[in-house]
Structure 1
Amino acid sequence: MGLAAVLDPRYKMVGVEFQFKKMYPDPTECSKQVDRIHQLCNELVNEYTQQMSFDVSHVSVGVGTKEVDERGNANLFEGDDYMVYLKRRNMTRSSYVNIEFNHYLEEKIHPPNDPNFNVSKWWKNNRMKVKVPAKTAKDIYAIPVSIITSESAFSTSGRVISPHRAKLKQDIIEALMCG
């Protein structure tokens, strides 16, 4: 849910920091939790970057074979040097996407009280400006919070924490209750 908040242009990391300051009165713990969400965002964006780079380089690598064309010329993309170039380019692209994501975080926050605001439409309109975060947001917002009603989630005579759930960590219980 923290990732979804960060990917909402009305809140971003500022909204997460605001809510976590309410949840965690200890500044050290609050900072730790905010950093954890920021790290998760970076990891997710990096994962999407690698996946999108793999999709592109996988297609390009198909071109990089040692075939000879119809005129008898050797293919210009033969050898390991092209593969090394692709790997370096993907690394550079990855750092660019981190800059792209950080730029998104630093942009002005959309007014939170705009009744006509639609997160999905915002990402669709801005997908060319921040490609990887837009793809990430599209997938994150496609995940339903819950597919069952909250009453049936804990149907053991109205108790939220039953003996078989007593060993769950506090943050997991919180997430279950919120979901």
Structure 2
Amino acid sequence: MSTATATGPRTRRPVRQDPAERRRALYHLASPVSVLTTGPESRMHGTTASTVTLVSREPLLVGVVLRAGSSFARRAAATGRFAINVLGGDQAGVARRFADSGRPDGSAQFAGLAWTADPYAQAPLIAGALAHYTCRFHSAHAAGDSELLLGHVVRARADEGLPLLTYAGRLHAGTLHPAKEAAAS
């Protein structure tokens, strides 16, 4: 059995492109919106994240991209546990609440919001979320102007419904239509 590797020129010229055009193109990556939470109640914290993805099936790892120096990443590392609440299409207000840098600290962030404490992570599980993932902190890695937080999923639960998505810089209540297959020619 042989393997081939593609090799290109050893020196490459930098590609010049307007940074605004690159950012505009990146807005076309649709992704579900989640609220990450930590506990216990005396030290609760939540933050909105729009980049949560499956990283590994064995072991079951999820990755979350946060801004560098995120207080959430520090708290998750300190407690060793956190939860991910995948928001439903009708929860844009919840996403905005936890994205607001002027929100109150601690349990006041959750005032008036229905939630239950996860028995393992002691983190809030937000009512109405489409899915909850309870994670054991795995690691955090610097990645440019961001930080990649990895969590080992120890519990998960999913409900029916449509997701809240971020696309083109805005929140959208998800609508899922099966892709139309192109006719074979």
Instruction: Report which of the two structures shows the higher radius of gyration computed on alpha carbons.
Output: 1
Report the TM-score when normalising by structure 1: 0.24
Report the TM-score when normalising by structure 2: 0.24
Considering fraction of residues, name the structure with more helix: 1
